Copies of this chain bind each other. A is one copy, B any other.
Amino acid sequence: MDEEGAGLRSQGAGQKIKDKRQKTKDSKMDSKALSNLYRDELLNNVMPFWLEKSQDNLHGGYFTCLDRQGRVFDTDKFVWLQGREVWMFSMLYNNLDKNPEWLKCAVQGGEFLKKYGHDGKLNWYFSLTREGKPIVEPYNIFSYTFATMAFGQLSKATGNTEHADIARKTFDIILARMDNPKGKWDKAYPGTRTLKNFALPMILCNLALEIEHLLEPEYLRKTIDPRIHEVMDVFYRPELGLVVETLTAGNELSDTFEGRVLNPGHAIEAMWFIMDLGVRLGKPELIEKAAKIAVQMTEYGWDKKHGGILYFLDMKGHPPQQLEWDQKLWWVHIEALISMAKGYQLTGSQDCLMWFEVLHEYTWEHFKDKEYPEWYGYLNRQGEVLLPLKGGKWKGCFHVPRGLYQVWKTLGKI
Contacts and interface: CB of A to CB of B under 8 A. Distances in A.
A381 interface: yes
A129 to B, nearest CB: 6
Nearest to A329: B323
A257 B126 contact: no
Interface string A1-36: 100000000000000000000000000000000000
B136 A188 contact: yes
B189 A388 contact: no
A137 B73 contact: no
A312 to B, nearest CB: 11
Contact of A388 (B126, B255, B319, B381): B319
Contacts of A256: 74, 76
Contacts of A257: 74, 76, 393
A321 interface: yes
Interface string A316-328: 1011110111110
Interface residues of A, number: 45
Contacts of A184: 184
A333 to B, nearest CB: 16
A74 B187 contact: no
A187 B136 contact: yes
A288 interface: no
Nearest to A127: B189
A319 B73 contact: yes
A155 B137 CA distance: 41
Interface in A246-277: 255-257
Contact of A389 (B126, B192, B319): B319
Interface in A119-147: 125-126, 129, 133-137, 139
A378 interface: yes
Interface in A334-359: none
A323 B377 CA distance: 11
Nearest to A119: B189
A49 to B, nearest CB: 17
A184 B187 CA distance: 10
Nearest to A327: B323
Say what secondary structure dominates the interface of chain A: loop
A43 interface: no
A139 B189 CA distance: 11
B134 A386 contact: no
A372 interface: no
B318 A139 contact: no
Nearest to A393: B321
A193 B129 contact: yes
Contacts of A327: 323
A185 interface: yes
B323 A324 contact: yes
A414 interface: no
A45 interface: no
B139 A187 contact: yes
A55 interface: no
B324 A137 contact: no
A1 B187 contact: no
Interface in A55-75: 65, 67, 73-74
Contacts of A316: 73
A185 B185 contact: yes
A158 interface: no
B326 A386 contact: yes
A387 interface: yes
Contacts of A321: 392-393
A380 interface: yes
24 contacts: A1-B385, A1-B386, A1-B387, A1-B388, A67-B318, A73-B316, A74-B255, A74-B318, A76-B256, A126-B187, A133-B189, A135-B189, A135-B192, A136-B188, A136-B189, A185-B187, A319-B387, A319-B388, A321-B393, A323-B323, A323-B324, A323-B327, A323-B386, A326-B380
